[in-house]
C-alpha cells in the first residue's frame, strides 16, 4: 500500500504539478491550498507524509510544522518542507521545526518522489 500524502501549497499550479507527479508515482494524494483545517484531513485520511510549502499567506509552513510536532496525535507525521527560498535557509528552518526532509522547489521535478519514497520506507521500517 502506497503512502497517503497531504500536499499543502497556496500556488494552484505548483500544487497541481506536485500532485500529478506524486500520483503518477503511485501515491494517494490529498491537496489543500493552506494549512488551515489540515489537522482534520491528516487524521481523517490517515496521512503519513505532509508536503508543505514554507511561505503561504494564512499560515507559514514552518509554523504549521511546529504545530504538528507539538501535537501528540500528529507528531509522528513525516514532514517535507518545499520552498523556493535559499537552500541554506530551508535547511535551517527544517532543522528548527524538526522536518524530515527538504526539497527546493527548483529541484522538485527530480527530488520530490525519491525524497517521499525514502521517508515512506523509513516510516514503514519503524512500524515493523
Q: What is the pLDDT of residues 39-74, one digit of tens each?
A: 999 999 999 999 999 988 888 888 999 999 999 988
Q: What pTM does this model have?
A: 0.92
- pLDDT tens for 105-124 read 999 999 999 999 999 888 77
Residue 113: per-residue pLDDT:
96
Q: Could you tell me the CATH number of the domain that includes residue 76?
A: 3.40.50.2300
Residue 99 has pLDDT above 80, yes or no: yes
77: phi > 0 → left, psi -120 to 50 → alpha, else beta; which? beta
Domain boundaries, position 27: 4-127
How many domains would you assign to the chain?
Answer: 1
Residue 126 has pLDDT above 90, yes or no: no
Q: Phi and psi at residue 9, in whole multiples of 5°? A: -155, 135
Cell 500520483 -> residue: 23
User: Which stretches of 33-75 are assigned E, i.e. beta strand?
Assistant: 49-53
Residue 1: per-residue pLDDT:
57
Report the distance separating Cα 122 and Cα 35, nearest Å: 25
Rounded to a whole number of angstroms, the distance between the first and last alpha carbons of the chain is 14
Amino acid at each position: 500500500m502506497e503512502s497517503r500524502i497531504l500536499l499543502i501549497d497556496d500556488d494552484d499550479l505548483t500544487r497541481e504539478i506536485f500532485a500529478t507527479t506524486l500520483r503518477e508515482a503511485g501515491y494517494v494524494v490529498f491537496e489543500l491550498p493552506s494549512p488551515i483545517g489540515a489537522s482534520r484531513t491528516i487524521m481523517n485520511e490517515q496521512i503519513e507524509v505532509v508536503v508543505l510549502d514554507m511561505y503561504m499567506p494564512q499560515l507559514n509552513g514552518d509554523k504549521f510544522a511546529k504545530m504538528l510536532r507539538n501535537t501528540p496525535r500528529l507528531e509522528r507525521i513525516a514532514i517535507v518542507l518545499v520552498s523556493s527560498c535559499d537552500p541554506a535557509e530551508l535547511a535551517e528552518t527544517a532543522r528548527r521545526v524538526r522536518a524530515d526532509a527538504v526539497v527546493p522547489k527548483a529541484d522538485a521535478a527530480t527530488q520530490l518522489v525519491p525524497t517521499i519514497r525514502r521517508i515512506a520506507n523509513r516510516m514503514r521500517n519503524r512500524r515493523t
